[in-house]
Structure 1
Amino acid sequence: MSRTPRIEPYEGPAGGWGSVKSLVRHAHQGERLLSSPALLSKQNKPHGFACVSCAWAKPANPHPAEFCENGAKATFWELDRGRVAPAFFEEHTATELKTWDDHGLEAAGRLTHPMRFDHARDRWVPVDWDEAFAEIGRELSLIRAEDPKKVVFYASGRASLETSYMYQLFARLYGNNNLPDSSNMCHETTSVALPESIGQPVGSVRLEDFDQADAFFFFGQNVGSNSPRMLHPLQQASRRGAEILTFNPLRERGLERFTNPQEPIQMVTGGETRISSEYYQVKAGGDIAAIAGLCKAVFALDAAAMARGEPRVIDPAFIESETSGFEEFAGFIAGLAWDEIERESGLGRAALEKAAATYAKAKRVIGVYGMGLTQHKHGVSSVQMLVNLLLLRGNIGRPGAGICPVRGHSNVQGQRTVGISEKPELVPLDLLGELYGFEPPREHGLTTVDACKAILDGEVTGFIGLGGNFLRAVPEHGPMEAGWPKLRLTVQVATKLNRGHLFNGEVAYLLPCLGRIEIDAQATGPQVVTVEDSTGNMHASRGRVAPASPHLLSEAAIVAAIARATLPEVTTVPWTDWVADYGLVRDAIERTYPEIFADFNARMDTPGGFPRPLPARDREWRTESGKANFLLPKAMSASFQESADPDELRLITLRSNDQFNTTVYGYRDRFRGIEGTRMVVLLNAEDIARMGLSDGAEVTLETSVDDGVERRLPGLRVVAYDIPKGCCGAYYPEANVLIPLWQYAEQSKVPAAKSVPVRVRAGT
């Protein structure tokens, strides 16, 4: 479908009538206009269904409409009336479909039948479920006989706790820990950084802390597009006088101002709520330096207070009793020069001192961050520096304060909690072995980056994808798409068609599953699934609508059937019983993780969810030192080495207001004023002039590394934008073609998608 691009500044707030119009438009496109009010009234509610979009917390006392614009889009997208049945694939070859864009592929509708790829015909063809499971089982068995480590079990962040537990058990019974998931591409940095700092792999904040905080420090997070329901507690915080300070390269509208669609007076009068009281446009990769500047200014304020005989600014009692490494950290900060801090952060000393003064006055501070911290070479250090800042004033382990990573996919945190992890030390392997009578594998499995490399090197020959769009989400699109057909077996479990389904191994299956919003009827009746939100609370979710096709199976049923076909000799796992009654799976999860899931079935309908233990909230530090640790950063820039060439820019990959992860709902990035296209590059006006370009010019982005691989993204339109000099922005996943596979966060191996070295070339 041809589109006429329209690019003009958007002056409105987040939310407001723009959000309402967007919701109505998407409901109409999905033919859900009449049924949507009743359906959406159950979203994120007790005894309703958990949103399939973001993982933001679900309150015990929900709003009448406990959904956001993007959450509604996700619901309409899953319940699309369109159908991708066998007749569709008779009309379209894979080669033709590769010419479609991401939006067009998913907009075709819901998958309806299990399919097998016919290479001779270049088409997906229908297959019987039993036949599919039998052949998948045979292929997996053959690979296992050769080497069980040659299969990857990937999971996106949407599968339920029940399915995720079954999936990780299947992988380990198969013989490996190759369980990468979408966390490997975003918040694995958090899972590495926080255990070293505070002794737990997740944040320390609950939703109720937002009601008590005096200040919020945001880093690298776009609340308006990625977790809009968070705007409700932020709006209330702003109204009661809490300070909200944001450190982002781009000025994101959701962190500037908000009109609440659920407040009639504000909607009618055009009123707005200021969200950020101060906004600091740190350059890409400059967060470590910015936080170091805040710490340096806090130390200066503390010294001045001591000189005047006034109360300390830092919390020496907390630091002495609860932390380790303070003296080394204080010495490190003292040794930093302001000119280095300003150069690396892109912020002036006066601005950082002003922000530090706000921090020093606040009694309770929450540090909130997203992938703007995690997706850098030194992302682990970025997260740990934010923890250091919070520790200076005892802002972890008390109400209204703490560290708050904002997760993306709706159950990505929960999947890790129940064992979807390539790290055997994070999983109770001894207990799993005891419960199911086998010796679990002990070797580290493959991360997402490792899996990509192993596929390219021919070390992996089988890939099972439990949801997601792996080939589009990973870096190195060109080599990965070229290397994918060399796999022997590829199996994709999905609700909709995506580009990853057009590149297939020698034996390939596309298995359509129920969506979370659909009624999951099994032998004992309709089933309940559960998810974990960003704040560590577990929620039940119940399907509300009829399945898109009578030929669909649940994710749990698909996993169990593949496991039975592959491992017929395993009699210790009641796969069939588990599929008949998911409550039995929850019992198994409780036996495996009793500290987290005690009384799981009894508590799953707790309003607001039941909380997992967060030891750091009680100042129980499960670190090697037994205390919270001040940790020194590996470098002052989180990015890769900055080039002396002024024409080398740091590329930040971005999501639009009309997408969630790789799912593109449409072509209206309302908050950035970009409509009808995603092929743009956002550039600072001074950089445009310096490079002899013009607003609207057609350019190509090229990765500025010399490793023998050509990485280019042509056909981009230059858009003058308020972005720091030396930085540029382009949409994900299109811009992933520019990210080298080896460019990832040290320790966590998260692709460093927020500071890719690139050059801009005129034309194509």
Structure 2
Amino acid sequence: MAEQHADQPEIEAYDGPAGGWGSVRSLADILPRERLGPSALAELARQNKPEGFACVSCAWPKPAEPHAAEFCENGAKATAWELASRRTTPDFFREHSLTELRGWSDYRLEEAGRLTHPMRYDAATDRYVAVEWDEAFDAIGAALRACDPKSAVFYTSGRASLETSFLYGLAARAYGHQNLPDSSNMCHESTSVGLKAAIGVPVGTTRPHDFDHTDLILFFGQNPGSNAPRMLRDLRACRKRGVEIITFNPLRERGLERFTDPQNPLEMATGSETSISTQYHQVKTGGDLAVMTGIARCLLEWHDAALANGEPGVLDTDFIERHTHGFDAFEAAIRAADWTAIVDEAGLTRDAIEAAARVYARSSAVMAIYGMGLTQHVKGVANVRMLVNLLLMRGNIGKPGAGPTPVRGHSNVQGQRTVGITEKTELVPVERIEALYGFTAPREKGLDTIGACRGIVDGPVRAFIGLGGNFLRAVPDSDAIEAAWGKLDLSVQIATKLNRNHLFPARDTYLLPCLGRIERDVQAGRAQAVSVEDSMSAIHGSRGRVEPASPHLKSETRIVAEIARRIVPANPRLPWEAWTNNYGLIRDAIEATWPEQFADFNARMFTPGGFWRGNKAAERIWETPSGRAEFDVPDTLNATGFDDAPGRFRLMTLRSNDQFNTTVYGYHDRFRGVKGTRDILFMHPADIAEAGLAEGATVTLETDAGDGVTRRRTGLIVTPYAIPRGCLGAYYPEANVLIPLEHHAEQSHVLAAKSVPVRIVTD
């Protein structure tokens, strides 16, 4: 199968808006490329609808009153990718060894099509060979029973349903460990840690209706045009009624500049656009702490001046006194901050910071939307805490139109944490689990993603179960993890399509193909439904109805239960078979385990717009040790965790317009004007000149972490771009080879992929 690369890479600026005809053309391209007919359009019409299926892409909320087409460009690509007509059969593996396949690109591997049969790795031929399901389950069970449970890792990506995730976490604990890393460890764990410490809940406090009440949106480090395009309609509606949107982002992302609604006939006919950001500040990567410190200092100074003039103060002192703790120490630290240092670290002028602060000071209801541009730094938790500080200063939590709004990525990454996918004992109701299910649950903290990677490299981890995802591609120091993977005794990968992780065998390796969420899931003669949680804590039902890609596929829920039956002692309180035959019984178990959040789960799961599971901080009930929202005292203005030095750059990893997480749908990053390649290094023109380089030159990046390990990414094409000086951009996940395993966020262990110290070496 031919790659989708162009003969020569094309790099040409894109002048169009987000959405518009560019989005329509992208959709028109992928459907025939995946050989999909009119039936695919019928499924797209059900996407994110009540009684339809929840998008397998991002976790943006599904509205109670959906549009005719309640999907975005990337959501449509995700659906087309799952409905693809090509098949990766046992014949495919007879033709291709794993050694050969390791030379294929991520795109080409997944483009080979849907997996059709359970497979095991045969070392003698270096190929996967077909295996019967029961034979695979029995062998996997025997291998897991033979090893220390604490040496096993059960990883899950963010798309597994609530039902599957619940059984997976329960199986792990009943087996004897809570080594339950997930994709949240790689993106928003800084949110979970930071918000939990600050306001007592690990998630955002806003809901979709808050867009109707806000009068200012602060945007930090998130790119809705590529990562959550349906959000653009909410932003457009806000702008139409005069809401200001102030963006802080190193790159000028088109979705935060201009948007044409593809579902608005007038806009499509006339080419009219909505300007999204009213201020756009290209902060240095890692400079958000400095920006927020500068805004906070402005508020304090203007508050002093207002009181001195006999005018109302800028701060919400009543809220601060009644609802917060630690303000005095925070105030002292902000007053001591030096403006010269603030400006230098932010990469913005003082006038620019003050311009943003003036709007914040006069706004009464403020939402703070952010993504991995805040969380994926060494000081990622400090970024989240500082954002909360800003909101607390003016009482912008727990009222309509206000609050922190983290934008989660994968479709159920937040939900799986809600139902027990966590390595932290304090985040699950252990005593209730023991009482309900009749086993002693582990109390020892399990392995997160970084811990799992260390265990794989150093040897304590012996078995790895991957419930979806592409772990080897997503993790930092990916070359080192790939090299160590063969030391594992067991690797089990549950997947819909082939990816790079599947090409690195352990001593025993199994590839188990599962149903996709769009497909009909029938158990014991009854069609089943599943559920997911969106970024704003609403639970949605999802029904698949498409004929499965192969009669040999099993649901993720069934696969997890079959493994659980073979590794957990028989226990009438753990009825794996009954649960799998009727997912409603799993939801009953979830409700029994978390009764406050999942009351009447089965009855409410198809509520239009989802049912909200509640949020104490949104009610100004602070479940913190002090019983109040906590101010945090910042100890730095630089979130990168390293100092600048001559020749050292801050690398941020990026996703293209033609991918979602590690899945690459094609080679056209439309908004950045790149086609035919992912071997790109985005760089400020002045930095190109200063380094003695030229546009189109090919260079190598080397990690400059000072740990004595050589990490290289070769063959990158120097491309001038509007990026702050001293900062570079390269595509994820290919650039993960440059991120040291120890270069992660303090406290949360999220890989610090948005500020990696690197140097440029000419090829």
TM-score (norm 2): 0.99
Deviation at 1:709, TM superposition (A): 1.7
Distance 1:611 1:452 in 2: 35
Q: Is the 8 A contact 2:438 2:571 kept in 1?
A: no
Q: Is the 8 A contact 1:471 1:500 kept in 2?
A: yes
Deviation at 1:260, TM superposition (A): 0.3
Deviation at 1:504, TM superposition (A): 1.1
2:724 aligned partner: 724
Deviation at 1:568, TM superposition (A): 4.4
Q: Is the 8 A contact 1:468 1:494 kept in 2?
A: yes
Deviation at 1:738, TM superposition (A): 0.1
Deviation at 1:31, TM superposition (A): 1.8
Q: Does structure 1 residue 5 correspond to structure 2 residue 6?
A: no
Q: Is the 8 A contact 1:249 1:282 kept in 2?
A: yes
1:113 aligned partner: 117
In the alignment of these two chains, the number of paired residues is 759
Q: Within 5 Å, give how 1:7-22 maps onto structure 2.
A: 7-22=11-26
Q: Please identify, of 304-313 and 333-342, the stretch whose mean Cα deviation from structure 2 is larger.
A: 304-313
Distance 1:671 1:502 in 2: 32
Deviation at 1:37, TM superposition (A): 2.5
2:656 aligned partner: 656
Deviation at 1:606, TM superposition (A): 0.7
1:626 aligned partner: 627
Deviation at 1:541, TM superposition (A): 0.2
Deviation at 1:302, TM superposition (A): 1.4
Q: Is the 8 A contact 1:24 1:33 kept in 2?
A: no
Distance 2:702 2:758 in 1: 5
Deviation at 1:571, TM superposition (A): 3.6
1:172 aligned partner: 173
Distance 2:226 2:208 in 1: 19
- State the AA in 2 paired with 1:118: D
Deviation at 1:154, TM superposition (A): 0.3
Distance 2:494 2:68 in 1: 34
1:706 aligned partner: 706
Deviation at 1:38, TM superposition (A): 1.5
Distance 1:285 1:122 in 2: 44
Distance 2:463 2:573 in 1: 25
1:28 aligned partner: 32
Q: Deviations over 1:566-623 (max 9, x none)?
A: 2243342110011110000000000000011000001101110000111111100001
Distance 1:557 1:655 in 2: 33
Distance 1:212 1:390 in 2: 16
1:335 aligned partner: 336
2:212 aligned partner: 211
Distance 2:56 2:200 in 1: 29
Q: Is the 8 A contact 1:378 1:634 kept in 2?
A: no
Distance 2:309 2:45 in 1: 57
Consecutive unaligned residues of structure 1, counting only runs of 5 or more, are none
TM-score (norm 1): 0.99
- 1:626 alignment partner, SS class: coil
Deviation at 1:122, TM superposition (A): 0.3
Q: CA RMSD in A?
A: 0.8
1:611 aligned partner: 612
- State the AA in 2 paired with 1:695: E
2:427 aligned partner: 426
Distance 1:408 1:644 in 2: 33
2:669 aligned partner: 669
Distance 1:407 1:86 in 2: 36
Distance 2:69 2:363 in 1: 32
Deviation at 1:644, TM superposition (A): 2.5
1:278 aligned partner: 279
Deviation at 1:524, TM superposition (A): 4.6
2:372 aligned partner: 371
Distance 2:378 2:124 in 1: 43
- State the AA in 1 paired with 2:36: R
Q: Deviations over 1:439-474 (max 9, x none)?
A: 100000001000000111100100000000000000
Q: Within 5 Å, give how 1:6-405 maps onto structure 2.
A: 6-143=10-147, 147-405=148-406
Distance 1:730 1:609 in 2: 37
Distance 2:410 2:555 in 1: 19
2:512 aligned partner: 511
Distance 1:654 1:708 in 2: 26
Q: Deviations over 1:409-433 (max 9, x none)?
A: 0000000000000001100111111
Q: Within 5 Å, give how 1:531-542 maps onto structure 2.
A: 531-542=532-543
- 1:204 alignment partner, SS class: coil
Q: Please identify, of 519-528 and 150-159, the stretch whose mean Cα deviation from structure 2 is larger.
A: 519-528
Q: Is the 8 A contact 2:72 2:230 kept in 1?
A: yes
- State the AA in 2 paired with 1:706: G
- 2:444 alignment partner, SS class: coil
Q: Is the 8 A contact 1:474 1:736 kept in 2?
A: yes
Q: Is the 8 A contact 1:219 1:372 kept in 2?
A: yes
Deviation at 1:708, TM superposition (A): 2.9
Distance 1:303 1:70 in 2: 48
Distance 1:124 1:729 in 2: 37
1:544 aligned partner: 545
Q: Does structure 1 residue 733 correspond to structure 2 residue 730?
A: no
- 1:621 alignment partner, SS class: coil
Distance 2:253 2:377 in 1: 20
- State the AA in 2 paired with 1:727: C
Q: Please identify, of 32-41 and 545-554, the stretch whose mean Cα deviation from structure 2 is larger.
A: 32-41
Q: Is the 8 A contact 2:333 2:634 kept in 1?
A: no
Deviation at 1:544, TM superposition (A): 2.2
1:688 aligned partner: 688
- State the AA in 1 paired with 2:116: T
Q: Does structure 1 residue 748 correspond to structure 2 residue 748?
A: yes
Q: Is the 8 A contact 1:524 1:581 kept in 2?
A: no
- 1:596 alignment partner, SS class: coil
Matched-pair identity in %? 61
Distance 1:473 1:597 in 2: 32
Distance 2:572 2:115 in 1: 33
- State the AA in 2 paired with 1:227: A
Distance 2:385 2:37 in 1: 46
Distance 1:561 1:635 in 2: 50
Q: Is the 8 A contact 2:330 2:634 kept in 1?
A: no
Deviation at 1:303, TM superposition (A): 1.7
Q: Deviations over 1:2-58 (max 9, x none)?
A: 522100111110000000000011111112242232111110000000000000011
- State the AA in 2 paired with 1:322: H
- 1:217 alignment partner, SS class: strand
- 1:597 alignment partner, SS class: coil
Distance 1:545 1:633 in 2: 52
- State the AA in 1 paired with 2:721: Y
Distance 1:632 1:258 in 2: 38
Distance 1:311 1:127 in 2: 74
Q: Deviations over 1:98-150 (max 9, x none)?
A: 0000000000000000000001100000000010001001000001xxx2100
Distance 1:556 1:634 in 2: 45
Deviation at 1:226, TM superposition (A): 0.3
Deviation at 1:496, TM superposition (A): 0.2
Q: Is the 8 A contact 1:518 1:545 kept in 2?
A: yes
Q: Is the 8 A contact 1:246 1:255 kept in 2?
A: yes
- State the AA in 1 paired with 2:704: S
Q: Is the 8 A contact 2:40 2:83 kept in 1?
A: no
Q: Does structure 1 residue 490 correspond to structure 2 residue 494?
A: no
2:479 aligned partner: 478
Deviation at 1:394, TM superposition (A): 0.5
Q: Is the 8 A contact 2:289 2:639 kept in 1?
A: yes
Q: Please identify, of 59-68 and 415-424, the stretch whose mean Cα deviation from structure 2 is larger.
A: 59-68
Distance 1:509 1:464 in 2: 10
- 2:730 alignment partner, SS class: strand
Q: Is the 8 A contact 1:7 1:674 kept in 2?
A: yes
- State the AA in 2 paired with 1:415: Q
Distance 1:545 1:732 in 2: 32
Q: Deviations over 1:381-439 (max 9, x none)?
A: 00110110011110000001010000000000000000000001100111111111111
